[in-house]
Structure formats: structure tokens, C-alpha cells
């Protein structure tokens, strides 16, 4: 099992846990269907010899929904959040393995680090929130408070 948080010299990687098998199977099926429907519709339209412009609407609708379901599937299987510490800023993005999403950055001067706590049965979890006067970065993956403290210490030490 991979660690939930990996801290390197200038990078902090927060790994999500893979979801259970049933939701991933459902997302995989929805993704496959969304990508196959336009192909099947094109084949049927060619066989009937009535290829109409409306087929483009099918490509757009099912292409976008297929991309959405693929991103959900990849996030549930391989998702991670990456914080890159630069000299004067902190960059953040979500990594879906095949896609990069939600790129954001915040100036490192006067950055405040907060936790958004939530209770999950026996343990207290939280997400990380970086903010200054201009921008806010919030992570999505819930972490134990010990991991959040490690991340906070690394950021404070890096910019000290």
C-alpha cells in the first residue's frame, strides 16, 4: 500500500485511496458505453446511408460525458494532488494519471495554512487550506491531522 503523503524537497504529493471495486466497475462501464455509442451510431447511419449532421450532436454529448466518466474513473483509481513549492509561489494541481486538472497557484508571501476538520467515526480528518490576500488553495483528499501537520511543517520550513 502506498503512503498517503509523500514529501520531497520541493514537492508534496497527496495520494487518494482507490475506491472499492463496484463503483469503479460502474464508472468503467459508463465510460465505455459513452465512447461506443457514437461509433455504433455512425456505423448504423452509414449502413442506412443516412449520415446526417445530427450525428455531430451525438459525438459532442457522448464524447463529453465519456471524458467526464473517464476522469471520475481515473480519480477513483489513481487520483493524487500535487503541491509544488517554488521560490515565490506554491502551485497546485490534481493528477488523474491521464489528465491534469485544477491548476492553481498562490504567492508564498504571507501564506496562511489552515485545516478544514471533519470527523469520520473514530478519527479526525481534514483537508489543507492555503490562503493569502489574493488566492485560496484547498485540497480535496482527507488526511489524518498528523499528515496535515507534516505538510504544514514542510511548507513553513521551506519558506523560512
Please write the tens of the pLDDT for every residue from 83-138.
999 988 999 999 999 989 889 999 888 889 998 888 767 778 899 999 988 899 99
Task: List the grid coordinates of 3.
Answer: 503512503
Last residue of some domain: 52, 76, 100? 76
DSSP state of 40: H
Domain count of the fold of the chain: 2
Based on the fold, state whether residues 66 and 96 are members of the same structural domain: no
Does residue 92 share a domain with residue 65? Answer: no
pLDDT digits (tens, 9 = 90+) for 27-85: 999 999 999 999 998 888 888 877 778 888 888 999 999 999 999 999 999 999 999 99
150 and 88 in a common domain: yes
Task: Indicate if 87 and 148 belong to the same structural domain.
Answer: yes
Is there a single domain that holds both residue 63 and residue 92?
no
Domain of 128, in residue numbers: 5-16+81-158
- Based on the domain organization, do 63 and 95 belong to the same domain? no
Amino acid at each position: 500500500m502506498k503512503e498517503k503523503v509523500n514529501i520531497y524537497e520541493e514537492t508534496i504529493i497527496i495520494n487518494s485511496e482507490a475506491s472499492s471495486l463496484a463503483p469503479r466497475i460502474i464508472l468503467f462501464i459508463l465510460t465505455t458505453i459513452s465512447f461506443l455509442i457514437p461509433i455504433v451510431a455512425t456505423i448504423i447511419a452509414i449502413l442506412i446511408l443516412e449520415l446526417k449532421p445530427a450525428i455531430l450532436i451525438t459525438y459532442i454529448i457522448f464524447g463529453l460525458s465519456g471524458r467526464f466518466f473517464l476522469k471520475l474513473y481515473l480519480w477513483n483509481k489513481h487520483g493524487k494532488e500535487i503541491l509544488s513549492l517554488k521560490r515565490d509561489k506554491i502551485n497546485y494541481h490534481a493528477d488523474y494519471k491521464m489528465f491534469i486538472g485544477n491548476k492553481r497557484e498562490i504567492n508564498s508571501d504571507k501564506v496562511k495554512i489552515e485545516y478544514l476538520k471533519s470527523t469520520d467515526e473514530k478519527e479526525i480528518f481534514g483537508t489543507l487550506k492555503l490562503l493569502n490576500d489574493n488566492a485560496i488553495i484547498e485540497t480535496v483528499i482527507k488526511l489524518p491531522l498528523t499528515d496535515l501537520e507534516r505538510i504544514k511543517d514542510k511548507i513553513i520550513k521551506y519558506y523560512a
